[in-house]
């Protein structure tokens, strides 16, 4: 496992649409290593979610960790099939360090995806998980949170000195 280099605001790759991972590639060493590296990278930077495009790989792979007892979840080729309600949330992004803003996200989402073992799955998500899935699927579609913020809510938070 390795920490991958994050791609930051201004990098053209963040505006590109990611490609589906063919079923036969999901179990490949290349994709499994990517998943492990993404989880390690997300944890190093204390992120809740990370899309492959954020480490420079245009594949529809997402990792999310709510830091609960369930551990990280891996979503390959995720598709949001249903949304319900709205929630106003404060959001940040590992590709936009120290920047936070308010956004309107669905309160609930239903997403279909393939897990890292190649099984088709469905998740009904609320609150933070719904927010994270929406945020990461946006990344896969070449959209970044900064394009969706409620005007006037963007804040830059000075990083703390260690």
Query: Over the stretch 75-122, which tens digit does the pLDDT of each residue have?
Result: 999 999 999 999 999 999 999 999 999 999 999 999 999 999 999 999
According to the model, what pLDDT value does residue 32 have?
A: 98
- Tokens representing 4? 């991958």
According to the model, what pLDDT value does residue 160 have?
A: 76
> Is 23 a known active-site residue?
no
Reported confidence tier of residue 162, pLDDT bands at 50, 70, 90: low
Edge to edge, the sheet with strand 96-105 lists: 87-93, 96-105, 155-156
- List, for residues 20-70, the tens digit of each pLDDT value: 999 999 999 999 999 999 999 999 999 999 999 999 999 999 999 999 988
Which of 91, 127, 136, 143 does the annotation list as catalytic?
136
User: 80: which strand partners?
Assistant: 111
145, 103 contact by CB (below 8 A): yes
What predicted TM-score, i.e. pTM, was given to this entire model?
0.95
The rounded distance, in Å, linking the Cα atoms of 158 and 156 is: 6
Reported confidence tier of residue 1, pLDDT bands at 50, 70, 90: confident
Q: What's the Cα-to-Cα distance from 96 to each of 43, 150, 154, rounded to whole Å?
A: 16, 16, 11
Q: Which domains does the chain have, with CATH numbers?
A: 12-156 (3.90.45.10)
User: 122: which strand partners?
Assistant: 112
Q: DSSP secondary-structure letter at 148?
A: S
- Tokens representing 60? 């529809």
């Amino acid at each position: 496992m390795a920490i991958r280099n994050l791609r930051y605001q201004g990098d053209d790759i963040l505006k590109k649409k990611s490609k589906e991972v063919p079923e036969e590639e999901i179990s490949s060493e290349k994709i499994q290593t990517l998943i492990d590296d993404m989880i390690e990278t997300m944890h190093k930077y204390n992120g809740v979610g990370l899309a492959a495009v954020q480490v420079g790989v245009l594949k529809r792979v997402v990792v999310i960790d709510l830091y609960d007892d369930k551990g990280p979840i891996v979503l390959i080729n995720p598709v949001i099939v249903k949304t319900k309600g709205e929630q106003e949330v404060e959001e940040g992004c590992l590709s936009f360090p120290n920047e936070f803003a308010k956004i309107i996200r669905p309160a609930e989402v239903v997403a279909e995806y393939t897990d890292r073992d190649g099984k088709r799955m469905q998740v009904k998500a609320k609150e933070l998980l719904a927010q994270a899935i929406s945020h990461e699927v946006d990344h896969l579609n070449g959209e970044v949170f900064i394009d969706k913020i409620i005007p006037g809510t963007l804040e830059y938070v000075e990083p703390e000195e260690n």
